[in-house]
Amino acid sequence: DAKTTQPNSMESNEEEPVHLPCNHSTISGTDYIHWYRQLPSQGPEYVIHGLTSNVNNRMASLAIAEDRKSSTLILHRATLRDAAVYYCILRDVGTYKYIFGTGTRLKVLA
């Protein structure tokens, strides 16, 4: 199963953009890149996913490197409600498994 590497923690100031990096050097051609976040005492919540092209939705943007070996989740204006653990996950087309790592704990400073 392909693996992802993320920094353990990051800090951001409120209302500033946040770039959360993820390395996935062993990604295969059919792996989707998913991002979820988990607020305290809640289950994970879907943020965004992509395969090859950059993606935007109301929550965030996903920038995928041309070689697909890394990606960046972009929160355009961080709010206090964005403080959470962010997981970058590869999902294999064949097995459909999500392999969660330990994620990045984002702290947003007022």
Partner 1 sequence: EAGVVQSPRYKIIEKKQPVAFWCNPISGHNTLYWYRQNLGQGPELLIRYENEEAVDDSQLPKDRFSAERLKGVDSTLKIQPAELGDSAVYLCASSFSGGAGEEQFFGPGTRLTVL
Using CB under 8 A as the binding rule, whether residue 53 contacts partner 1 is answered as no
Q: In which region does residue 71 sit, left (phi positive, over 0), alpha (psi from -120 to 50) or beta (all else)?
A: beta
Using CB under 8 A as the binding rule, whether residue 98 contacts partner 1 is answered as yes
| 58 vs 110, beta carbon nearer partner 1 | 58
Q: Strand order of the sheet with strand 45-50?
A: 9-13, 104-109, 84-91, 32-38, 45-50
| 97 vs 107, beta carbon nearer partner 1 | 97
Using CB under 8 A as the binding rule, whether residue 91 contacts partner 1 is answered as yes
Query: Min. distance of Cβ 69 from partner 1 in angstroms?
Result: 19
Cα→Cα distances 102→39, 88, 98, Å: 14, 9, 13
Q: By CB under 8 A, name the one of 42, 66, 67, 110 that touches partner 1.
A: 42
DSSP 88: E
Positions in the binding site for partner 1 (CB under 8 A) = 30-32, 41-46, 49, 51, 87, 91-93, 95-98, 100-103
